[in-house]
Amino acid sequence: MLRLGVVFPQTEIGNDMTAIRDYIQALEGMGYTHILAYDHVLGAGLAHRPNWTGPYNSDTPFHEVFTLLSYAAAITTRLELVTGVLILPQRQTALVAKQAAQVDLFSGGRFRLGVGTGWNKVEYDGLNEDFTNRGKRSEEQIAVLRALWTQKEVTFDGTWHHIEEAGINPLPIQRPIPIWIGGISEPAMRRAARLGDGWVTDLQTSAEIIDCIDRIRAWRKEYGRDHLPFEIMATPSDAWNVDGYQRLADAGVTHILTMPWPFYHGETDELDKKIDSVKRYADDIISQFS
């Protein structure tokens, strides 16, 4: 069954824990199946960066995703919890394995780790990680994560990781936790086809999403992985109706990420309008899937 979820409004919701709790619990009550949280650790100051073009900066708030989703796990019983996407190569891999395992444990196995390589060199520099080799390094990180999630003790000797008879405890419920790989560049989609348990799209038209799925399906066959389960989270910019969603489901989409406010209030950063849109969308669309 196609699953319909909503983005957590990182940059708009603020620090009122009552509002955060009410928003997350309301989604579950409305029938949404998952919530996705964007990830950033450091924002770039603009005073000495006049040519900055990134969508976020030091004035943009972001709650830390593992902490946020651990909290969400404690106040829900059914919602799948998704990072979308965690910038994996700017983090220590063993620490990610430990944190992800805790979210999976606290949620009863409802966690999906969406990962990507990111775009913000300022953030990489501040976290003392190499921006230039992030793609290749992320591939080794995925292997390390899966080993740490499934083995009591791990010995791993790679290019960037050296572990000798060490492991995390407790292990997650899901062994391993599903890893969804995000991005629409060819390297990112090939990485999803070759290494991922799923793929996370950008905001795209349905036609663009289906074209990407066809390419990923061909690569999965090339890599001998087309027999394995594979989930796809799509964020369509145009298919906000049951028929449009069914076309995506027929193409292989398993999860839809909804951002319905443009269809009710236009492009808005106002939290109350986003919440109203989520409620109206649940009444208009989700009821047709029940």
pLDDT at 282: 86
Q: What ranges in 114-153 are assigned the alpha helix state H? A: 121-126, 134-150
Q: At what angle do helices 65-75 and 93-107 cross, to 10 degrees?
A: 10
DSSP conformation class of 177: P
Hey, where are the domains in the chain? Answer: 33-177
User: What is the mean predicted confidence (pLDDT) over 115-130?
Assistant: 97
Average pLDDT, the chain: 94
Which residue bears the tokens 């790989």? 181
pLDDT band at 289 (very low <50, low <70, confident <90, very high): low
Is 201 within 8 Å of 234 (Cβ atoms)?
yes
Each residue of 211-224: b (16+ CB within 10 Å) or e? Answer: ebbeebeebbeeee
Taking residue 286's Cβ as centre, other Cβ atoms within 10 Å add up to 16
Q: Is 76 helix (H, G, I), strand (E, B) or coil?
A: coil
Per residue in 223-241, pLDDT tens? 999 999 999 999 998 877 8
pLDDT at 272: 85
Which residue bears the tokens 């997650």? 172
pLDDT at 264: 86
Pick the residue with more confidence: 146 or 11? Answer: 146
33-177, CATH topology level:
TIM Barrel (3.20.20)
pLDDT at 116: 97
Return the sign of the alpha-carbon dihedral for residues 281, 284, 288, 290. positive
pLDDT at 270 over 90: no
